[in-house]
């Protein structure tokens, strides 16, 4: 019953591993470690400058005067701001660049200090070299992070599973007709089958913009597994698979759905980001839940409040609830 090992499948082992990463690393899928390291470096250096400016002054070789201690404290506050920005924000690139600007400022100040008669030149030279080295790292991280931020409008490899009370063959049959997908996948406006393995997908973005691409089925094991991906050169790099395993004791079918979206940077990317919000995992769970509802009961559960009827208001907007695309989808 187990499937051959393939990239990213089965999905069950990924939860704990993902949980071990820092929030920033999790956001970045682990790609932001250099940026994270620089963030922590900023916090440490800034903390030292604010807390013990006299010690820092002695170590870099500038006179321990009240003016220099004040200056170091100000620089320390700047470092802390950069560090918090890098570690705490979704988009890290601007904060890494703020470090580069800070490095430039530090180098100018160190240059001025080198010209001063009261400075210790050897220590200052070491400090200047260190700052220059860190600045180089900052530039590398900033460039890398900018590329990463731009591609982060999508997400990769989110999997959700649910057991449905139908045999695998029937569940598979429903999925194999990809035109059924928009019945329960909220972000899809339509899927049109255009050939034995080809289909045309349309999602509706904000302000009436639609995003479209062609996809093909890349692997198919009837009753067990189905994988598809967008054709090379599509606007959106999308892939997904769904697996069907008989649940223990003959209690239906365990359905696992995995999706990945890599939209390009820019407005198209933000349209796809808008579709999935900040928690694609929850969106996907709702998709699978609706699939279960459709295949078990023939309909999607709706209440008066979930439709805003009878004067009843919708529940507080949650990650999984009100998206215009869903409302349009429901009308079908």
Q: What residues make contact with another protein under the rule CB under 8 A?
A: 163, 165, 251-252, 282, 285-286, 289, 292-293, 296-307, 309-316, 318-321
What token pair was written down for 83? 């560090």
Query: Least CB distance from residue 174 to another protein, whole Å?
Result: 14
Select 214 or 279, whichever has its Cβ closest to another protein: 279
Cβ–Cβ under 8 Å, residues 226 and 120? no
Select 151 or 319, whichever has its Cβ closest to another protein: 319
* Cβ burial 251-271 (10 Å sphere, 16+ → b, else e): ebbbbbbbbbbbbbeeebbeb
Sign, Cα dihedral of 173, 176, 182, 184: positive
Secondary structure element (H or E) that encloses residue 113, with its range: helix 93-114
Secondary structure element (H or E) that encloses residue 257, with its range: strand 253-262
Select 29 or 277, whichever has its Cβ closest to another protein: 277
Select 216 or 279, whichever has its Cβ closest to another protein: 279
Q: Tell me which residue of 291, 211, 309 sits closest to 255, measured CA to CA.
A: 291
Cα(164)–Cα(284) distance, integer angstroms? 16
112 burial via Cβ count (<10 Å: 0-12, 13-18, 19+): exposed
Select 232 or 249, whichever has its Cβ closest to another protein: 249
Query: Least CB distance from residue 242 to another protein, whole Å?
Result: 19
Select 221 or 278, whichever has its Cβ closest to another protein: 278
Cα(149)–Cα(144) distance, integer angstroms? 9
Query: Least CB distance from residue 185 to another protein, whole Å?
Result: 16
Query: Least CB distance from residue 291 to another protein, whole Å?
Result: 11
Select 110 or 284, whichever has its Cβ closest to another protein: 284
Q: What does DSSP say about strands 225-230 and 188-193: parallel, antiparallel, or unpaired?
A: unpaired
Q: Cβ contacts of residue 293 below 8 Å, gap of 6+?
A: 184, 299, 300, 301
**Can you tell me which residue has the tokens 């250099």?**
34
Query: Least CB distance from residue 245 to another protein, whole Å?
Result: 16
Query: Least CB distance from residue 176 to another protein, whole Å?
Result: 21
Cα(7)–Cα(239) distance, integer angstroms? 13
Query: Least CB distance from residue 298 to another protein, whole Å?
Result: 6
Select 238 or 285, whichever has its Cβ closest to another protein: 285
Query: Least CB distance from residue 272 to another protein, whole Å?
Result: 22
């Amino acid at each position: 019953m187990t499937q051959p090992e393939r990239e990213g499948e089965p999905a069950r082992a990924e939860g704990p591993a993902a949980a071990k990463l820092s929030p920033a690393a999790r956001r970045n899928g682990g790609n932001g470690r250099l940026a994270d390291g620089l963030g922590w470096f900023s916090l440490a250096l800034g903390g030292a400058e604010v807390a013990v400016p006299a010690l820092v002054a002695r170590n870099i070789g500038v006179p321990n005067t009240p003016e220099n201690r004040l200056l170091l404290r100000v620089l320390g506050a700047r470092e802390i701001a950069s560090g918090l920005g890098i570690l705490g924000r979704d988009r890290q690139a601007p904060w890494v660049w703020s470090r580069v600007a800070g490095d430039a400022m530090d180098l100018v100040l160190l240059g001025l200090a080198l010209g001063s008669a009261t400075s210790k030149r050897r220590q200052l030279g070491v400090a200047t070299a260190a700052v220059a080295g860190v600045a180089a790292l900052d530039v590398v991280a900033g460039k890398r992070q900018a590329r990463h931020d731009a591609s982060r409008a999508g997400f990769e490899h989110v999997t959700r599973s649910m057991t449905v009370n139908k045999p695998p063959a029937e569940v598979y049959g429903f999925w194999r007709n990809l035109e059924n997908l928009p019945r329960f996948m909220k972000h899809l406006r339509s899927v049109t089958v255009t050939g034995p393995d080809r289909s045309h997908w349309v999602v509706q973005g904000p302000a009436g913009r639609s995003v479209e691409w062609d996809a093909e089925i890349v692997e198919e094991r009837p009753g067990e597994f189905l994988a598809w991906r967008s054709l090379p050169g599509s606007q959106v790099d999308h892939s997904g698979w769904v697996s069907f395993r008989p649940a223990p004791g003959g209690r239906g079918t365990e359905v696992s759905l995995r999706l990945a979206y890599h939209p390009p940077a820019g407005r198209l990317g933000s349209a796809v980001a808008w579709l999935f919000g900040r928690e694609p995992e929850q969106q996907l769970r709702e998709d699978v839940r609706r699939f279960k509802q459709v295949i078990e009961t023939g309909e999607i559960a709706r209440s008066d409040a979930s439709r805003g009827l009878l004067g009843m208001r919708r529940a507080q907007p949650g990650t999984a609830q009100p998206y215009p695309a869903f409302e349009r989808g429901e009308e079908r």
